A and B are shown apart, each in its own frame.
Chain A
């Protein structure tokens, strides 16, 4: 184990996987950061610093600064993947996936199926997501429900430094297209990370904590919010199962359903708006599969049906918080 940040864990993984397999290539805007500039190349190594050092080690052929052309980046990655490479493309902010949707939903996601199982598209699209930095409506979204809804795409969302490494390694080695969501407020998060080869399998939830009274399901930054809420209630004798699915597609349904059968209560926390969301999806799953175990209505704690606002008071009103989660846990546990 080594102590490092979420960001460092991602960087280490990219270094390891590029060294392991020469088919792994990295591309995106400013991933070298400084190509064509007097002080470049490699002046920055990604706006969040994740791709630092790759250019120096693996060179311009495999670490490629791209123009501001998100559709082109996603498509180039998809095409290179079809032709045998393992591209790791960076879309700086998940909001910009709006520009790449054709390449993701009509192309990469569907090749294997449309071509009768004869093609693979082993690309990873890394992207930063989430609110909490007053980055406003076009730089704060969490579009994981949108891509989770697309058959053919896999979706990973690490909430710790160790998972950042384990899930990214798996994503790069996986033969299907993977959308890899990095929460922009977590890059500095420190944690113990296993050294060397470290894989976290897709579709296997992390049991963050164990308890008896309520099941909390969350991903990304919302996991620590759930932990804070649950910790605040432990003095009252309330204990929670906290489950981080780690990948929303594939989904570890068993981990969630087993837990709900045990606790009889479910709260899903997510920072997106509520409609057609990850939260609604998990709630529907539990309602249909373990209805008879439920002792209280399933609740969700999400953003409202609105874009993410700029002002910090409004952003706070938009986002779930440990306090809001705690209130809902109390209501659920006291339901009669």
Chain B
């Protein structure tokens, strides 16, 4: 835990922001205020934040259908994201993208993605660009356990390996792809052991612990920046909510989520670690909690009041010029 006080506060703030953002959406979606397909990231915060705290604005990430956490962790504007999810004209993507397509080129966030396995090839390409630019930049894809079975994901990891690209493939194993268990659809002993077969340096780590994620990623990303080629990591994690909002989750164990919320809550784990070590106090953290809660409340109020897009916008932004 060699992080400075500000770094710890920042990490906690980011994790808490994701948690509150998702909890807010969970409540709003139940009321029917927000349309479309929304997949919440609650429970996995330590992964997004532990990874992205090691990245620069000039590094790239690609994300998934469960992308809000990655977006926030990479520095997307929370208010702009909230407006996007509400389908507003001044949302981060003008209301055109919605939950599954939040993107922000200014912070190297190359998009959530509605296509499972859509991100890793794109991160591979961004890594090629970074390599050609020669600025020590890296590109990183987030993906779920389910995404590791897509052909394009295999292909891009092999391409990265043969071209020695600065790309990093992060697999968040939350045990399920939709309702199907990871162990059934992944024939190898683990995702990590399979990825190793591509000649890519791969590790497996605990995604419930921010500090473990942060440390593992620090090393991998540094390695990548130095030109040692691609690497990958499989994090064990859990999602607190259903696959999508409205999912009855009857495929999960009876006490699975309850148990995860009690014992594997990465936000709670962070809190107890830093307070026990005397790095931050409960008051410090409570203060951040309150600031985050008020940020989410204001974001939601502003989003609800924001103007909707005008119908002409449907045909803008299809091309740069046409």
Contacts and interface: CB of A to CB of B under 8 A. Distances in A.
A334 interface: no
Contacts of B318: 305-307
Interface residues of A, number: 45
Nearest to A43: B251
Nearest to B187: A67
B117 A68 contact: yes
B36 A36 contact: no
A309 B310 CA distance: 12
Interface of B is mostly: loop
B279 interface: no
A314 interface: yes
A47 B149 contact: no
A99 B252 contact: no
Nearest to A32: B180
A288 B89 CA distance: 44
Nearest to A273: B318
B87 A69 contact: no
Interface residues of B, number: 53
Given A39-B252, A304-B314, A306-B318, A138 B100 contact: yes
Given A29-B180, A37-B181, A314-B313, A133 B250 contact: no
A96 B178 contact: no
Interface of A is mostly: loop
Interface of A: 29-30, 33-40, 43-44, 47, 65-72, 95-96, 98-99, 133-139, 304-307, 309-314, 316-318
Contact of A99 (B36, B87, B150, B256): B150
B278 interface: no
Interface string B170-203: 0000001111111111100000000000000000
Contacts of B313: 309, 314, 317
Which residue, of B96, B101, B180, B318, has the highest number of chain A Cβ atoms within 10 A? B180
B115 A306 contact: no
A134 B115 contact: no
B143 to A, nearest CB: 10
Given A29-B178, A30-B178, A138 B184 contact: no
B77 to A, nearest CB: 18
B114 interface: yes
Given A310-B36, A311-B87, A43 B97 contact: no
